[in-house]
Homo-oligomer: A and B are copies of this chain.
């Protein structure tokens, strides 16, 4: 059954072709009037310029790391790390960045076209935006599987490495992808939220002009931000999640099963998932006159059918590859899928304004911004309960169904496989997630170009539709991050055992090194969130000062007679986000190495576990608080509790502003952080084993 691994490269090519097809669909749509084209061009130029600068800074980092890894690999004759590691690291980073870049390219091409489509009909707007989302979704999975396949075939057939060595090189590839993703998420996240917060604070709160008003000098920066943060950042991020889940499953599988099948199953399952996603995407059709409800139904149907497809197809895959005795692993796949859907449901419950929590939060605007903040924070904290319990149940179920009671290794492999199951339909779930920012941008363009009010209403409807479907996507992303991080901890332990079978591993919780590692690890996401939030605050402050300056100094700006200096705001956002992006990312890389050198491998395991649990909870909390504040504000804007311009609205805007860095900078970065920590630990395990204090 080894030929099944061929499903991976074949699907990779299919995914990329499908992405091309979708890109063609986007590009052939009309671009709208001249004003729209001009605005879109400004956004595109800003995003291009920013990413260019980001990539040049990041390249320096990658070059330094490459040199370091080369020195370690060639200096130690491949003993501490193998010779493939530096190269794998680079390609992971490259493809992760490329995923984000392609996403940004298509999103900036699609924004005006979506606005134009929405000026015809709701469905017209959806078609363009969703096609753009699909380009991103299928590019991410296509590039991911392509890179995995190339490395796999190269190492196995050209260099004749055994499965263990193959997966260990692939883990470095994951580390490259995670590093790039962290830079993209943090940098882009700071950019987008600094622009957003800055624009809102002066525009909406101080001056009282509407969102996306062309008089606001930060408005282009805000729209650029959506593309470099929500799109390019998300692309790199999910690329990392996707390949991370597959790689970690392969690594655990090699230890658990001692056979090729361990690698074939996750790779082939991902391949089948691509086919399922294409199938599901093709089924998304609605009547021309369909309302938002019908559109939502169509999107849901598409993702559900894809999930069903994979649920069915995974059975024969497991059965024929591993035999009847290991069929429990199929149960793990199912449990992962169900957990993803369940977390998605609770995400929606806590953040959508059709449910009680967000409605109550909107009602808290009656007593001012302080109670909105208190309410949102407690909502976010409360919303951690369900995901924690769901992950707990899913882990237990996967472990025991896979046979962990008799053989712990295979139980742990089952957990890793459940993460692969969860993410296998990423092609389509990411498409439903990524089209939101495109619709958001289209709304901005509609506003700035002065299109009729109903166009904006339609793009808003698309955007809010996107928020709802994105909830499911977030459920999968968060759930899989936790499961993958867990698998990577196990992979780290396996790696230490493989490198030095005599090392006295004592992972008991009452071992002080483990406990201390746990505490330090749990602190890292707090530190990370603090730094990223501070960075947003600082960058936003510069934007505020610049916008105020322009309002003051440019004569006629408020009357619309003089054009604002948009480029200055874009430049400020770019500069400060790039400056502030470095420290958090470097901490993520150094923390596990430094702790390892001091506390040894036992402490590292504690650190990883601590970061996993506190990071998971903090990420969920921040994402959901932010989402609820955003939607509570929209709920007020829709006319409840006084509507736009009321005191309630002002209170709601404060909540939304606080929520911005929560949900789009700190929260999603933490998901990457917890995996990156593990991957760095694995790659540098040899160094830590060679030199450590305790």
Residues of chain B within 8 A of A389, CB atoms compared: 520, 523
Which residues from B are CB-within-8-Å of A333? none
Q: Chain A 389-402 against B: per-residue CB contact (8 Å), 1 yes, 0 no?
A: 10110011001000
**A226 and B187 alpha carbons, distance in the complex (Å):** 45
- Residues 74-126 of A at the B interface (beta carbon under 8 Å): none
In contact, A512 and B367 (Cβ under 8 angstroms): no
Q: Are A369 and B510 in contact (CB under 8 A)?
A: no
Closest Cβ neighbor of A511 among chain B residues:
B408
* A621: nearest chain-B partner, CB-CB: B526
Partner of A374, one of B371, B513, B658, B694: B658
Pair B395/A516 contact, Cβ less than 8 Å:
yes
Contact: B509 with A489, CB < 8 Å?
yes
A509-525 interface code vs B (CB 8 A; 1 in, 0 out): 11111111011101100
A606 contacts which chain B residues (CB < 8 A)? 509
> Given A373-B654, A510-B507, A526-B384, do A368 and B201 touch, yes or no (CB 8 Å)?
yes
Give chain B nearest CB distance to A271 CB in angstroms. Answer: 28
CB contact between A527 and one of B384, B515, B519 (< 8 Å): that residue: B384
- In the complex, which range does the number of interface residues on chain A fall in? 35 or more
Interface hit among A138-146, A231-239, A464-472, A528-536: A528-536
CB-CB under 8 A for A522 and B522, given A201-B371, A373-B373, A377-B533? yes
Do B509 and A411 have beta carbons less than 8 Å apart?
no
> Does A677 belong to the interface (CB within 8 Å)?
no
Per the bound structure, the CA–CA distance linking A384 and B412 in Å amounts to: 32
Count copies of this chain in the complex. Answer: 2
Shortest distance between the CB of A573 and any CB in chain B (Å)? 16
User: Complex Cα distance A388/B364, Å?
Assistant: 35
Q: How far is the CA of A617 from the CA of B490 in the complex (A)?
A: 25
Q: Specify the chain B residue showing the minimal Cβ separation from A595.
A: B392
> A252: shortest Cβ distance to chain B, in Å?
11
Identify 29 residue pairs between A and B in the complex whose beta-carbon atoms are under 8 Å apart, listed by A's number. A201-B371, A364-B537, A367-B541, A368-B654, A371-B541, A374-B536, A374-B658, A375-B534, A377-B530, A377-B533, A378-B531, A379-B530, A381-B529, A384-B527, A385-B523, A389-B523, A399-B512, A415-B512, A486-B515, A493-B510, A507-B509, A507-B510, A509-B605, A519-B613, A519-B616, A522-B617, A526-B617, A610-B613, A654-B654
4 nearest A-B residue pairs (beta carbon): A381-B530, A370-B657, A382-B530, A378-B533
